[in-house]
Amino acid sequence: MTIHKAFDAEKARNQLVELLDKFIAHSTTTDFRTKVQKLIPAFMLLRKIGISIIDSHTEYSARERILLYFRKNPMTIIETEELMVVSGISEYPRRIRELRVQEGWPILSGKTVKSMQGANEWDNNSLDVNRIKPDEYILLKDQQDRDAAYRWKQINQIRREKIAVQDKIIKYLLLIDA
């Protein structure tokens, strides 16, 4: 996270309108590929506007922006489009996986919630998840499981060691037995 010059959302909005007006004016005279290429600057500008929503004075990574958004909306079903806007990237599911697995944040996908419901393991009646989609997400609580993150780091270190698989298994079993 670094501090940077404030993003001028109004200037960006004006630029976006100008780009879209130009696109519409030339959309009937250009071929398909040229149309796509002319939309790229507008798409990139729209991403910047979305990223600036979190904090226009601070530069966060996509993962940090996603986590901030989840933390501002715990126990809320978050749609994929929201995450694309906030993160500014298309690889947001990978960042969510990192937050969940490597950092220990209790983020569940809609697919996991449905699976838990099917196995009668979903006991949170305060949140109606009957219409949750598989690619939507929920932060169960605004509390990181630091022990889970620590265990993942230890296991990942074992996985990366250049030793025999049997030795890795023994190290792992000794680790979980401790």
pLDDT tens, residue by residue, 113-160: 989 888 888 877 777 888 889 999 999 999 999 998 888 898 999 999
Same domain, 79 and 140: yes
Q: Could you give the CA distance from residue 1 to residue 130 in angstroms, rounded to a whole number?
A: 37
Rounded to an integer, what distance in angstroms lies between the CA atom of residue 131 and that of residue 71? Answer: 22
Paired tokens of 111: 């697919």
Q: Phi and psi dihedrals of 123, rounded to 5?
A: -115, 15
- Predicted confidence at residue 72, as pLDDT, reads 93
The answer to whether residues 132 and 154 belong to one domain is no
Examine the domain organization and report whether 113 and 126 are in the same domain.
yes
**Tens-place pLDDT, residues 59-79:** 788 899 999 999 999 999 999
Task: Determine the structural domain holding residue 162 and report its residue range.
Answer: 148-177
Q: Are residues 135 and 153 in the same domain?
A: no
State whether 32 and 68 are in the same domain.
no
- Does residue 155 share a domain with residue 139? no
Q: Tell me, what's the pLDDT at 38? A: 82
In this predicted structure, the answer to whether residue 3 has a pLDDT above a threshold of 70 is: no
Query: Domains in the chain: how many in total?
Result: 3
Q: Looking at the structure, do residues 159 and 171 belong to the same domain, yes or no?
A: yes
Taking the model in full, what pTM does it have? 0.77
